[in-house]
Amino acid sequence: MISTNRIWHKEAISIADLNAFGKGNMCEHLGIEFTELGANYLVAKMPVDHRTKQPFGLLHGGASVVLAESVASMASALVVDMEQASCVGIEINANHIRAMRTGYVFGKCTPLHLGATTHVWNIQITNDKNQLVCISRLTVSVLRKKN
């Protein structure tokens, strides 16, 4: 079981700093914004709109997976010393539970395992009523940089 103590490598990083990492990439394209950084969790939100819906007007399952991987990958990056290591996703799965047509979804990731070479994250995606929309798990490889 992962402790509720602070897990982040850096002592002080702001939500604005996290959102700056999302500029010019998939996060910006889909409107993903980081909203909360707790002692051992990270939250991001994503709109359910023309960018994230499938042709039948529902939240696209792939968009949910992008939200899950985005929030958990960022969390892994915050756990390690990024001057010494980089983090890359190696496996993700998702179960889509509830359909969404409008509003926002919120991805909250918490660690299941924080090892020297792998991290495993649980990501719960909910709607604004805190109802489960998708549950996902991401495994990340921690790659040591060569000096």
Q: Catalogue the active-site residues.
A: 69
**Contact of 32 with 42, CB cutoff 8 Å:** no
131 contacts 104 by C-beta, under 8 angstroms: no
- The CA distances from residue 69 to 13, 39, 57, 73, 109, in Å, are 20, 19, 23, 6, 9
Contacts of 131 (CB under 8 A, 6+ apart): 98
Q: How far apart are CA 124 and CA 53, in angstroms?
A: 19
Please list, residue by residue across 92-111, b when 16 or more beta carbons sit within 10 angstroms of its beta carbon and e when fewer do: bebebeeebeeebbbbbbbb
**Token pair listed for 37:** 């950084």
